[in-house]
Amino acid sequence: MTSFFTIVFMVVVGALIGGLTNHVAIKMLFRPHNAVYLWGKRLPFTPGLIPRRRDELAKQLGKTVINYLLTPETFRTKFFNATMKATVSKWLNDKTKTVLFSDDKTLQQWLDQAGIPHAPELIEHKVDALIMQQIDTLKNTLSTQTVQQLLPQEWQEKAQSKIPEIARYILNKGDDYFESEEGTQTIKGLIDGFLSSKGTFGGMVQMFIGDGSALVPMLQREVKKFIVADQTFVMLTSLLTKEWQKLQVQTVPQMFGDLDFTSTTTKIQTYAKEQLAIRDRLDLPLVHYLPNGAQWLEDNAYPKLVDTAFTQIEAKLEDILSRMDLENVVKEQVDKFPVETLEDLVLGISKREFKMITVLGFFLGGIIGLLQGFIAILF
């Protein structure tokens, strides 16, 4: 009976020693959280292993994340594939149809959301300023450049070639006029006026020839001879050519005087704003102007955009990850964790295993105690 109690006692003591030792060892991974000092000297094994090596742990976690978890190859496998491209394309298409090209929001509401609530006033102001700028430019051009500088070369050549036609047209119209009844009366009036202006001599001539009607046919024939004569055509052509040449070296204000563009500018600005109808146009949704816009983006723009974006990002993936400096990011975040958080993190993952280690300590301690009991009885 004494041997039995000895063995039981040795088993219980061994189990307690093994279990408590493992339990204390596990606790010493984290406890105490801070160093403990006695008479100014830090006690051994304080703080716990993980708090004491937290800096090394953070650094090692950062290296592990970079070398094994968030590697470029991992990103390529998980994100740069056909499935992810299809997902991104579908998201873009859905958002385009439901948000951008919907009837829910007008252009003005989009501008309000973008922080531009007074878009109509801004646009109208820009239109007024643009028209004013263009009118000022036109005024400056007309004031400083001659007709020859303003007109294209082909226009000048065309006008020069039309001078003979104009001269012939004027002479033909003059011939037709003086042969008409109106022309006859004009000649008669000129003769009567001429004779009346000559006083007594004119009165004596009128006594012989009457009121001047007898001289009209003769003057008509002479006028016609003058009009149809080649010399007259040459003279008129030469005269028109000289006038055209004088005209070409003048500016518009020299020909017509100073031009007042104020009222014209106001009318153009008013007309432009009426035709643009900015407020009415901004009160319509985008789909009103681009009814097939979403489909066009889906068929033409987004496939190229997604392919280009994936290609460019994948090509620069190593550089992007390097710039993100994930190793230091992980290290800094772990350094910021309270020790309690690290303890909860580890225990939350391995709590069951730690319990099993404690139980295993009790079991092994009990077996060792059992062996020691048998050895003690035998010897």
Indicate the residue among 198, 215, 250 that finishes a domain.
250
**Domains of the chain: total:** 2
Indicate the residue among 250, 279, 300 that finishes a domain.
250
Copy the structure tokens of residue 86: 């299809």
Phi, psi (5° rounding) for residue 182?
-65, -40
CA distance 177 to 207: 29
168 and 243 together in one domain = yes
Indicate the residue among 250, 269, 304 that finishes a domain.
250
241 and 325 together in one domain = no
> In angstroms, what CA-CA distances link 144 with 141, 151, 249, 251, 254?
5, 14, 11, 7, 10
154 and 230 together in one domain = yes
| pLDDT one digit per residue (tens) for the chain, 379 residues | 577 777 777 777 777 877 788 777 767 766 766 666 777 777 666 666 666 666 777 777 778 777 777 788 888 888 888 889 999 999 999 999 888 888 888 988 888 888 888 898 999 999 999 999 998 888 888 888 888 888 888 988 898 899 999 999 998 998 888 888 887 888 777 766 655 665 555 455 544 454 556 667 777 888 888 888 889 899 999 999 999 998 888 888 877 777 778 888 899 999 999 998 999 999 999 888 888 888 999 899 999 999 999 999 888 888 888 888 877 887 777 777 776 766 666 666 666 766 787 777 777 777 877 787 777 777 6
In a domain, 111, yes or no: no
> In angstroms, what CA-CA distances link 138 with 145, 216, 247, 258, 261?
10, 53, 19, 13, 10
Q: Which domain holds residue 152?
A: 146-250
In a domain, 239, yes or no: yes
Residue closest to 227 by CA, chosen among 170, 274, 189: 170
- Give Rg (Cα) of the chain: 54
In a domain, 94, yes or no: no
In a domain, 364, yes or no: yes
In a domain, 260, yes or no: no
In a domain, 277, yes or no: no
In a domain, 294, yes or no: no
Q: Which residue is listed with tokens 């350094």?
A: 335
In a domain, 358, yes or no: yes
